[in-house]
Amino acid sequence: MESTTAVRKYYSEIDVARGFVLFLTVFAHTLTGHTFWFNWVSSFIMQAFFFLSGMTFNPDKFDGFGHFLKVKIKKRVIPYFAICLVGLVICLLRPDYRAPLFEAGWSYELTWLLYYAQPRNLYIGQVWFLAGLFMTEVFFYLWFRVFGKTHPLVRFYSVVVIAWLGVKINVINQFFPTMGRLPWKMDMAVGALVFMIAGYYVHRSGILYKMVRYYLYAMPLLVGLNWYFGPILGGYVNLCDCVYSPAPLYYTASFLGIFAVCLTAVILRHWRFWQFCGHYSLPLFASQTIFIYLVIETIYHFTGVWQDPVTSNKMALLIAVIAFALMLLMIWPYHVWKTRRAK
């Protein structure tokens, strides 16, 4: 009984943290790029998703690499193509969305969808996360099989090498003529692997729960230093596009922001609203662009003002809140159906 309770408690905290970073992601995608607030959010949100995925990852539950691939293809790759198909259908049905699709041409679109794993002109570009998560999990599984049982120092230095390679990956990318990048987010996955490994061992150590008692003292320090090493010193970073500040600034800001989010999630672990958001974070994350533009188009219909880019932080927050609410309304019927079916 104690084991079951512990598992439920753990997952509620992870879901709450995912809910937080999901909303911050939607907010970031409504902001005008490279402003202070945009740079602050981007300094840790995507890294946090991979960190949280590492906290829930269990390599030992798979019966070999073949079983692992089968499970992950079903959960990551197939949904990626399914969402891309839905996005393509929506764009073909709407004239305003269809025009840029035809203007760019099918060769361009398919290259982005199949090689780069980040669809263009389909308003579901964030679905890249499924491809990136798949590749990062593959790398993590292979790393764990090689280094998981070695001496802690060997594991530590292997992660240091991966961290260095992650921020230097564009040196390798330049040798790939197709779009100047490795396929299917492999380059991004190298950098994300550091955070997935860290999340895995942070969960095993229980360090977050040990830090909770110091929350009131730690939180201002974590946020303040994250701002200093992130948007103030480091500036703009983008894990998706392999854009990094100098490694010491980048990793320091990332982990400070991640720990701030995770500690807050432990404190608010019983908040069911954020549990719900985090539980469905993958489909919500993939659909956010469509809903953001739906809100922008609705505002334009009634006011005649096109809010892209959004020049006001208050307006950006308003659009993010409305889009986020619509995303939750989209997923709610499925949640109700799933809950009733479980009974």
pLDDT confidence of residue 52: 97
Instruction: Tell me which DSSP letter residue 184 carries.
Output: G
CA 107 to chain centre: 27
Q: From residue 309, give the alpha-carbon distance in Å to each of 33, 56, 124, 293.
A: 8, 36, 18, 11
pLDDT confidence of residue 34: 79
Closest CA to 166 of 228, 251, 44, 232: 251
pLDDT confidence of residue 178: 66
pLDDT confidence of residue 125: 85
**What whole-number distance in Å separates Cα of residue 289 and Cα of residue 125?**
7
CA 74 to chain centre: 19
- Contact between 162 and 95 under an 8 Å Cβ cutoff? The reply is no
Strand partners, 67: none
- Which residue numbers in the chain have pLDDT < 50? 1-10
Q: From residue 343, give the alpha-carbon distance in Å to each of 4, 8, 340.
A: 19, 18, 5
The pair of three-digit structure tokens given for residue 125, joined into one six-digit string: 């570009």
pLDDT confidence of residue 211: 92
Strand partners, 238: 243
pLDDT confidence of residue 341: 86
- Contact between 213 and 129 under an 8 Å Cβ cutoff? The reply is no
Prediction pTM value: 0.93
Q: From residue 276, give the alpha-carbon distance in Å to each of 200, 219, 221, 327.
A: 23, 24, 29, 12
**What whole-number distance in Å separates Cα of residue 45 and Cα of residue 51?**
10
pLDDT confidence of residue 1: 34
